[in-house]
């Protein structure tokens, strides 16, 4: 069974944190909307790393 980690991801603009389930072997990206400031955030999952980037309002 693959182990999942619950990690916080913060909006680069307002620092609002949101929790995500992360599997270390996961590779890919998703776009989310920050619930606080409305910015669109790109969340990239790379093996054992998570990176966020603001891509719009």
Nearest-angstrom CA–CA distance, 38 and 3? 31
Structure confidence at residue 57 (pLDDT): 57
Structure confidence at residue 49 (pLDDT): 66
Structure confidence at residue 8 (pLDDT): 82
pTM, two decimal places: 0.57
Structure confidence at residue 56 (pLDDT): 65
pLDDT class of 50 with cuts at 50, 70, 90: low
Overall number of domains in the chain = 1
Domain that holds residue 23: 5-56
Structure confidence at residue 1 (pLDDT): 56
What residues contact residue 5 under an 8 Å CB cut-off, 6+ apart?
21, 22, 23, 24
Per-residue model confidence as pLDDT tens digits over 12-46: 888 888 887 777 676 788 888 888 998 888 888 77
């Amino acid at each position: 069974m693959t182990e999942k980690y619950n990690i916080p991801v913060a909006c680069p603009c307002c620092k609002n944190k949101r929790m995500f389930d992360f599997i270390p072997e996961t590779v890919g990206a998703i776009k989310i909307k920050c619930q606080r400031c409305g910015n669109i955030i790109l969340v990239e999952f790379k093996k054992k790393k998570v990176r966020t980037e603001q891509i719009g309002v």
